[in-house]
Chain A
Amino acid sequence: MDAEQTRAVLAMMWRIRAFEERVGQLKRADEVHGLIHLSIGQEGVAAAVCGQLRTADAVYSGHRAHGHALAKGASMARALAELMGRRDGLCRGMGGSMHLVDVEHGFLGATGVVGGNIPLALGSALALRAAGRDAVAVVFFGDGAVQAGLFAESVNLAALWRLPVLLVCENNGFAEFSPRSAHTPVERVRDVVAPFGLAGGTVDGNDVDAVWDAVAGLLPAVRAGEGPALLECLTHRLRGHYEGDPDRYREAVSSAEWRERDPIARLQRAATGDGRLDPDELPGFERAARDEVERAVLAARESPFPDAALAASLVYGR
């Protein structure tokens, strides 16, 4: 990443971090509704992948999707309004955290069913190719989805049809409340898909420069129609599976360990160390993000709740 790209990615990571920390507070205050899954600690993957996509590229995600939606261009205020069940939410208050969609920016959606969106990305890729465009589809999913049958079906089909799709696995080592080792003897997702010959590999997902470089290396070939790729990003979620999760199944990360792993802190250290960024400009990223979040909170609170007639009108298109 050059300096400008680094600034953009760091700004996005801070936006996601500030948004999610505030969402956690608002959840405890009962202003945000529903099941909330935060990606704090994983922001680098969303920012580095989506930072290299175009609006025409289609992005799908799972239940831990706030970062992907924001990184693909969704308005923070409208995303927050959605989590609060308000009429000006991205989905008019009908979907919430697990079902964020922002068609205008090519975020075609999150899903609450683990692995449920992976084949949709394939279909989107099929349609983009049929239209003769060099757009790609990208789907984010966790390592828990890899054990779903849909994953195996989808990897096979993507490889068979050489679809322009980038599969991004955020391997945070935990599937809901269980370590990966409790669900599968295969430690690396890369090894699960080895026979299919996908491009890609495994990177440290909290090393944002490494994620960026890996995506930069894969994307042109996917875009050119040379077939799908799978990028496994090893990462760590700081929070529990969902907000309210007592999180007793994991050893707490010490603050020293966290500073070591935190993708934001790591990028700031790296980028100031090699001169891409000036240490003086760092506080501005966080400040701007937190200011934006507070503006989003005020805007979302102003938005009315949707009425039943609106809900009834959205079941069918005709």
Chain B
Amino acid sequence: MITTYARAIGAALATAMRADPSVVVLGEDVSVGGPFTVTTGLAEEFGAGRVLDTPISEAAICGVAIGAAQSGLRPVLEIMYVDFLTLALDQLVNQAAKARFMSGGQLGVPMVLRTQGGAGQRGAAQHSQSLESWLCHVPGLKVVMPSRAVDAAGLLASAIADPDPVVVVENKILYPRREQLPEVVEPVPIGVAATLRPGRDVTVLAMSRMVSESLDAADQLAAEGVEVEVVDPRTLVPLDLPAVLDSVRRTHHLVVAHEAVAHGGFGAEIAATVQKAAFDDLDAPVERVGAPFQPIPLSPGLEDAYLPDAASVVAAVRRVLGR
């Protein structure tokens, strides 16, 4: 079945809602599909009682999802842009992430927060950010960041079934991408990486949109005789560290690639962790690919130059290999 990343997510939501009446979807404009059409059709099938349009009140609707999760529902909250998640961070960080811990295990918050980030649509500095590293810093949250439709659907199914708050960070550039999917998409377990291309010379650990950029980079480098192994962690928290280390111990070189600002990005955490765990296996310091430390500009030429792409990955691979 040919589908898109956006449609695969919508289908996964519908599948979960058919299977479990406690699953509800809420967010701004979700009944009409929102700006990216992900939730289109859900209101028609499941009604306004389970597909709830909300006011533009990110903090309150996040709190509503938390409270609903604590009292028996399995809410899937959509925050339209990850940039707006800032408005809901008290709720997510102080209420959702800590509820189980602070209550001594009495409370669980089985909610999913879907949001999307990434630049490339001339959205400028407040509609284009990649803020996942903030979320990864908070104990109690799980963070998944699918790069493919099959993972977006499969991880969402696992996230809905999970007992903890899971943030699914989608990517607006990926929504329309077409992909061949099996008729029945199996859940993708949270915390399991996927090796999308084997290679023996260097590991590129790439996230979200940077996965396809890294696969393009691998094609280019293959022409030069460099074999790149592309690994998608799929889940950032909890990170599948064994899979990363397994790859690094074979290739002895690691490049971490994400679209987020490199400064303080999740790549820094991965680099530090891998260098500690596999220092003797590395032939070179871990290289990072990320955006420069500045807000995202509107002007097309500037935005294009700002965004890491396949060429950035190629350059990083050359640096790590000393070529």
**Residues of A near any B CB (own CB < 8 A):** 58, 60, 89-95, 99, 101-103, 108-109, 111-113, 116-128, 130-131, 137, 149-150, 153-154, 156-157, 160-161, 311, 313-318
Q: How many B residues touch A, CB cutoff 8 Å? A: 44
The answer, yes or no, to whether B54 is at the interface (CB within 8 Å) is yes
CB A59 to nearest CB in B, in angstroms, measures 12
Whether A153 contacts B60 by the Cβ 8 Å rule is yes
CB A108 to nearest CB in B, in angstroms, measures 6
Whether B67 contacts A116 by the Cβ 8 Å rule is no
Closest 4 CB pairs of A and B: A123-B67, A119-B63, A92-B104, A317-B163
Stretch at the interface among B70-78, B263-271, B280-288: B70-78
Contacts of B24 in A (CB 8 A): 130
Contacts of A58 in B (CB 8 A): 67, 70-71
Whether B91 contacts A119 by the Cβ 8 Å rule is yes
Whether B63 contacts A123 by the Cβ 8 Å rule is yes
Contacts of B105 in A (CB 8 A): 92, 313-314
Whether B106 contacts A128 by the Cβ 8 Å rule is no
Whether A91 contacts B102 by the Cβ 8 Å rule is yes
Whether B57 contacts A157 by the Cβ 8 Å rule is yes
Name the one of A109, A112, A317 contacting B108, with C-beta atoms under 8 angstroms.
Answer: A317
Q: Determine which residue in B67, B94, B110, B162 has the highest number of CB atoms from chain A within 10 A of its CB, and name it.
A: B67
Sample (21) of A-B pairs whose CB atoms are under 8 Å apart: A90-B104, A91-B103, A95-B103, A95-B104, A108-B70, A108-B71, A117-B95, A119-B66, A120-B64, A123-B64, A123-B66, A150-B90, A153-B57, A156-B55, A156-B57, A157-B60, A157-B61, A314-B104, A316-B163, A317-B162, A317-B164
Name the one of A120, A316, A318 contacting B70, with C-beta atoms under 8 angstroms.
Answer: A120
Residue of A at shortest CB range from B74?
A127
CB A112 to nearest CB in B, in angstroms, measures 8
Whether A119 contacts B94 by the Cβ 8 Å rule is no
Whether B63 contacts A128 by the Cβ 8 Å rule is no
Known: A314-B101, A315-B139. A130 touches B107 (CB 8 A): no
CA distance A70 to B265 in the complex (A): 45
CB A144 to nearest CB in B, in angstroms, measures 15
Known: A123-B65, A318-B163. A131 touches B90 (CB 8 A): no
Whether A318 contacts B162 by the Cβ 8 Å rule is yes
Contacts of B52 in A (CB 8 A): 161
Name the one of A99, A120, A153 contacting B67, with C-beta atoms under 8 angstroms.
Answer: A120
CB A171 to nearest CB in B, in angstroms, measures 21
CA distance A291 to B224 in the complex (A): 83
Proximity bits, B209-231, A CB within 8 Å = 1, else 0: 00000000000000000000000
The answer, yes or no, to whether B27 is at the interface (CB within 8 Å) is no
Contacts of A113 in B (CB 8 A): 90, 94-95
Contacts of A317 in B (CB 8 A): 100, 108, 110, 162-164
Whether B95 contacts A116 by the Cβ 8 Å rule is yes
Whether B59 contacts A127 by the Cβ 8 Å rule is no
Whether A316 contacts B62 by the Cβ 8 Å rule is no
Whether A315 contacts B100 by the Cβ 8 Å rule is yes
Contacts of B61 in A (CB 8 A): 119, 157
Whether B104 contacts A150 by the Cβ 8 Å rule is no
CB B28 to nearest CB in A, in angstroms, measures 12
Whether A124 contacts B71 by the Cβ 8 Å rule is yes
CB A69 to nearest CB in B, in angstroms, measures 12
Proximity bits, B12-54, A CB within 8 Å = 1, else 0: 0000000000101000000000000000000000000100101
CA distance A156 to B99 in the complex (A): 25
Contacts of A311 in B (CB 8 A): 101
In addition to A157-B54, A157-B55, 14 A-B residue pairs with Cβ atoms within 8 Å of each other are A91-B102, A91-B103, A95-B102, A103-B103, A111-B95, A116-B95, A118-B63, A119-B60, A126-B71, A127-B68, A150-B90, A153-B55, A315-B139, A316-B100
Contacts of B117 in A (CB 8 A): none
Whether B67 contacts A137 by the Cβ 8 Å rule is yes
The answer, yes or no, to whether B140 is at the interface (CB within 8 Å) is yes
CA distance A91 to B105 in the complex (A): 7
Known: A130-B49, A156-B57. A119 touches B164 (CB 8 A): no
CB A57 to nearest CB in B, in angstroms, measures 11
Residue of A at shortest CB range from B96?
A120
Whether B107 contacts A109 by the Cβ 8 Å rule is yes
Residue of B at shortest CB range from A135?
B71
CA distance A316 to B191 in the complex (A): 13
Contacts of B94 in A (CB 8 A): 111-113, 116
Whether A315 contacts B71 by the Cβ 8 Å rule is no
Whether B67 contacts A124 by the Cβ 8 Å rule is yes
Whether B64 contacts A316 by the Cβ 8 Å rule is no
Residue of B at shortest CB range from A90?
B104
Whether A91 contacts B104 by the Cβ 8 Å rule is yes
Name the one of B57, B63, B90, B107 contacting A108, with C-beta atoms under 8 angstroms.
Answer: B107
Name the one of A93, A94, A95, A126 contacting B64, with C-beta atoms under 8 angstroms.
Answer: A126
The answer, yes or no, to whether B69 is at the interface (CB within 8 Å) is yes
CA distance A90 to B65 in the complex (A): 24
Contacts of B110 in A (CB 8 A): 317
CA distance A150 to B73 in the complex (A): 22
Known: A103-B103, A103-B107, A153-B55. A116 touches B71 (CB 8 A): no
Residue of B at shortest CB range from A111?
B95
Residue of B at shortest CB range from A82?
B104
CA distance A102 to B70 in the complex (A): 12
Interface residue ranges of B83-128 to A (CB < 8 Å): 90-91, 94-95, 99-108, 110
Residue of A at shortest CB range from B72?
A127
Residue of B at shortest CB range from A91?
B104
